[in-house]
Structure 1
Amino acid sequence: MLPKFSRWLVSLIIVGGLFLGGCTSQEVASQSSENTSTTTPISVTQANNPQMNNLPRLEGKATVVMVVKGSPITIELDGTNAPVTAGNFVDLVQRGVYDGSVFHRVEKSPQPFVVQGGDPQSKDPNFRGQLGTGGFIDPETKQPRNIPLEIKPKGADTPVYSKTFESARISQPPELDHKRGAVAMARSMFPDSASSQFYFALSDINFLDGNYAVFGYVTQGMDVVDKIERGDKIESAKVTQGAENLKK
């Protein structure tokens, strides 16, 4: 067991590593909405959340194979418990958003934590800005695509959107937790700011449960994930099963 100081330091490093840089007016509005709510929310549905109307959804399971350093990483995506988050990821994989991008943050000490990638800016070898600040820009609308924070409490019928479990006053654990091999979305301090950046959990980091959206797990190739270093490239990412479950 880690000493209290070390545990606090570990938490600080991980949470800081998952935050994205910058914010938009949409994100500020999201933060304001979360901070002013004082009642336990009902899960938001697509019908009463306009932000979700045009987002892809995964209705069921899908499998993605990501190749890094010539070796495959197999990810099973759970659209049953995280339909919007998993659907967004599958859609971005099909668009080729991750092909050629690099892992810009790797946290392995003082113990294994996370590997984070998915910033489209990292595909440009001439980019000189700060990686970890970019997201997917929809080529049709020319606007950033952000998805709401989506976490389903264990035993619930539907996920809770746009709120952490703490702000929603939810005490039960999520259906999808941060065990080793979890795949989840990185975001800024504002709940509805996730876009394309994601991370692999290198160990059980359950103190993030209820704050970040897990949407799948590595089923094969965790040894490949363990060896990822900063700057390593995603050579390819392909949907190998369940593509028919993506609804746009």
Structure 2
Amino acid sequence: MIKRILCFAIIVVTAFGCFACGSTTVPDSDYVKIEMESGGVFYVELYPAQAPETVANFKKLVSEGFYNGLTFHRVETGVLIQGGDPMGNGYGGSDKKLKGEFPSNGFTQNTLKHTEGIISMARTNDPNSATSQFFICATSIPSLDGDYAAFGKVVKGMDAVHAIANCPVYGNKPVEKQVIKTAVIVDEIPAD
């Protein structure tokens, strides 16, 4: 009888341990603070009503620390900055591919426009190929409206985004690496 109880206890502890190791608790807040190694800081408000799966994936990656230490590897001067690639060259991403939550892909509830500060998922020509790479508009880019999964907006710290968007580049690659020190979910945006 003692052997059965001991065996049962070992199974329960092992099963619980495996379950706990495979899960990531994602905070409820829809605010993300991104701090650059250069000292710049900006805050993003996420819009789950517009792109629920995209927001959930982004929050999961942030909660796991995925973006910490990655770079904004692509800069279209004064127009946009792109990051979230673990390879740092535009060809990498996380494992999970997302269904593109934007109107031209049949997802009509996303009505966000690519105005200054909007954060949106980068992808290939395949509308369902976004993983972890994202871009932030440094100005309005109406040609992207309806064709990319916009999912939030920089609501504080656009000066930090503009600093990256106007850094010296070679082609569209920053001359000096633009490194994300940390990306974390926060409860609120601090007052000025």
Contact 1:61 1:80 in 2 (8 A): no
2:87 corresponds to: 121
Q: Tell whether 2:181 aligns with 1:235.
A: yes
Structure 2: runs of 5 or more not aligned: 1-23, 168-173
SS in structure 1 at match of 2:153: strand
- Report the Cα distance in structure 2 between the residues aligned to 1:93 and 1:73, rounded to whole angstroms: 14
Kindly name which structure, 1 or 2, has the bigger radius of gyration based on alpha carbons: 2
Which one of the candidate residues 58, 75, 84 is aligned to 1:106?
75
Whether 1:62 aligns to 2:25 is: no
Q: Identity, % of aligned pairs?
A: 37
What is the number of residues matched between the two proteins? 153
Q: How does 1:1-248 map to 2 (within 5 A)?
A: 62-68=30-36, 69-108=38-77, 112-122=78-88, 131-136=89-94, 144-151=95-102, 165=104, 168=106, 174-228=110-164, 229=167, 230=174, 231-241=177-187
> Structure 1's 83 and 174: CA in aligned 2 closer, same or farther, altered over 3 A?
closer
Unaligned 5+ segments in structure 1 are 1-55, 123-130, 137-143, 152-163, 243-248
Cα distance in 2 for partners of 1:203, 1:134 equals: 25
Per the normalisation by structure 2, the TM-score is: 0.73
Q: Secondary structure at the match of 2:87?
A: helix
Deviation digits for residues 179-200 of structure 1 (CA, Å, limit 9, x no counterpart): 0000000000001100000000
**Runs of at least 4 residues of structure 1 off by over 6 A?**
none
- Provide the aligned C-alpha RMSD in A: 2.4
Q: By how many angstroms is 1:71 displaced?
A: 2.2
CA distance in structure 1 between the partners assigned to 2:124 and 2:186 by the alignment: 30
CA deviation vs aligned residue, 1:28-54 (integer Å, no higher than 9, x gap):
xxxxxxxxxxxxxxxxxxxxxxxxxxx
Structure 2 equivalent of residue 158 of structure 1: none
- 2:11 matched residue in structure 1: none
Whether the aligned pair in 2 keeps the contact of 1:61 and 1:76 (CA below 8 Å) is no
TM-score (norm 1): 0.57
